[in-house]
Amino acid sequence: AHSPGYGYVTSCPTNLGTGMRASLHLQLPNLTADGTEAKAKAVCKPLGLSVRGAGGEHTPIGADGTVDISPSARLMIEEADIIVALYEGIKLLLAEEKKAPKRK
């Protein structure tokens, strides 16, 4: 269903709006060396991005540091802005990954 004011109405309220959830899996072994996604979240949150396990919501990060990155906003935002936020976040995450101490 589509609403002129709210966009696409989906079965999951978090996808209300564009109905688009663009995401990617990214290996961040250095940022996740402590076994958590806390450092990746610290980078992503100010950019409006979410970090979660590659298996979806409420799943742990992969043993190799694989995380799922996606924009948090879907309501009152254009699809192009979602992709730009994701792209900018990935660039920043990869830069932080390179600066982080190497995983042992």
pLDDT digits (tens, 9 = 90+) for 41-82: 999 999 889 999 988 888 899 899 999 999 887 777 788 888
- Domain spanning 21-99: CATH 3.30.1370: yes
Alpha-carbon distances of 10 from 7, 15, 20, 61, 98, rounded to whole Å:
9, 6, 10, 27, 38
> Which residues sit in the known binding site?
21-25, 52-57
Residue 46 or 4, more confident: 46
Percent of the chain surpassing pLDDT 70: 88
Domain borders along the chain are 21-99
CB 25 within 8 A of CB 67: yes
> Which residues sit in the known binding site for ATP?
21-25, 52-57
DSSP-derived pairing of the beta strands 66-71 and 49-53:
antiparallel
